[in-house]
Amino acid sequence: MAASAPCKCSGDDQQEGAGRKVEAIVRDRQKDLQYVQEYKPENPEIRYLRALLFGHVGAGKSSFINSVSNVLRDRMTMPALASAMTSDTSFTKKYETCKFMKGRRSSKTFFPVVFNDIMGLEDGDTRGVHAIDIVHALKGNVKEGHKFNPVGPLEPDDFGYNPTPSADDRVHVLVCVMSANTPQINSSLLKKMCEVRKQASELGIPQMAMMTHIDAACGEIEKDLKNVYRSRHLQKKMKDFSAAVGIPMNCIFPVKNYSEEIDMKDDVDILILSALRKIIDFGDDFIEKMKTE
What would the pLDDT profile of 44-73 be if each residue is shown by its tens digit? 889 999 999 999 888 899 899 999 999 998
> Based on C-alpha coordinates, what's the Rg of the chain?
18
Report field, pTM of the whole predicted structure over 0.95: no
Q: Identify which of 67, 31, 20, 49 has the alpha carbon closest to the alpha carbon of residue 212.
A: 67
> What are the Cα distances from residue 256, in Å, to 41, 46, 47, 61, 99?
27, 30, 29, 12, 21
| pLDDT higher than threshold 50 for residue 90 | no
pLDDT of residue 57: 85
Distance between terminal CA atoms of the chain? Answer: 48
Mean pLDDT of 111-133: 86
Pairing of strands 173-179, 101-102: unpaired
The residue type of 178 is M
Q: How distant, in Å, are the alpha carbons of 63, 142, 211, 262, 291 from that of 157? A: 33, 12, 36, 46, 30
